[in-house]
Chain A
């Protein structure tokens, strides 16, 4: 076979291999000559050139700090293709760790994803900058669901923009376990029929919050007496737990755990791959949250941080984020682009009777020494 052209049968074979996922796109474009053809054409037709319009003055690497299983790789790759800026993604396990790193200084981060209840503390400690909204033209406040824009705006100044929102409940492998109705039921099952098969988060807000809910208190309590009771419940449960881990998908998929505390996006991902994995909110309440994009003070590649944030907030791009990680957007423009099945998915959009009981995390829980110590003692027990 000559190298100059490709026979139709071979082209179809290669296309099928690409569709099966047994070869990469790059390989496909290479062997079929499509890559070269596109490159030649694009140099002749200006409209086909990679868009560099908004990439002016951008270079180097942008350091993006976020959560596990929480971004669409395709979007990151496209950003690099459009701007030439490499994206270095760092994964964190808790807001407390993010705060600790920023307090210690010189993180080198350009863009990060704090949760609603932490933003006022970042502002107070002067760790994030007021956002220059001119640099985020794709953000439209009018299109935002007003339930979520509160925490990012302090004294009328925007410090953070909502990435997506979700809830904290639990995921149950219904092939082998029954779904508890409430947080009390969650802890009863962990201490009883599901002993040795339950995971809780390695995260004070949700783990202590869940125990507080099981006892009938507020998810956000910092009352010493109520927290002492929550600690007692957690310590009594610890011997029965499979583990304490915020990266619980591997253990659930592997069958080591049958139930875990769970966030919307992980619940949606698990349910998508294994339909018997059911995500549920406690009837007695729990957490509703919104993650935000924010720029740390002194970001070394600030311009690229803004550019990445703006790119990810572009409705078409943001829709891909939602589809990929399963956390719903607060942007009405994005919701129009998301498949109907997702908008009707009760994991993403819980029924009102569940939703009305949920609480947003409170800023005091982040800095409360009581909660910090209880979590540390629970883990060290």
Chain B
């Protein structure tokens, strides 16, 4: 009570402007609010980013896109399943700026006709076939240090923590984004990469992305990013719009004989389905 009285006495004499005095107690003047960083906001230390191509993903990443001058880890349960689908919208912008995309040691051979349909043409792609982990690391480090390529994607399944940290320090001079594709099991070990995302497939023409680590608050839940691989848009019929329904209905049909349990009816049924 004493404090209240004290404040009311002081208020008119110290802040003569009436506009500030009318602010509700929880709110700050706009100039103060702009200079203040709150704990639940995303960090803004990232200076330069490349847009990911999805608005909802850009919103979740600090700076609004894949960071340049830093490493981004893409973790997947299996390699070479959905990397291009996730990264290609960003790579398109890099190719449009006439910069090179270099890939180091992918698990399978890249196939250019498919990549070209997604926007990466033959003049902007270099594939470095490095087999041993030491070679991959050396090549990645050389490319990162040289700051010569527009974007770098390296498959480093066996890289250790200190090697990732070394790459992260080198990548601070690299103007393009650097993506490291690693197995999902790596999420349990610490990493120096400022951004780590976990990528999973969604059966209905989409990707599920969970941001494991970012500058800012913890990301909860998963983002659903609609994505159709290049060239497949033309063949998607209304029936194929939701493949998960097809799969579940097939599984149901297959489950029928087990539920009925009749040995006589088991034989002819799968044959009829297989004929489709």
Q: Do A and B bind each other?
A: no
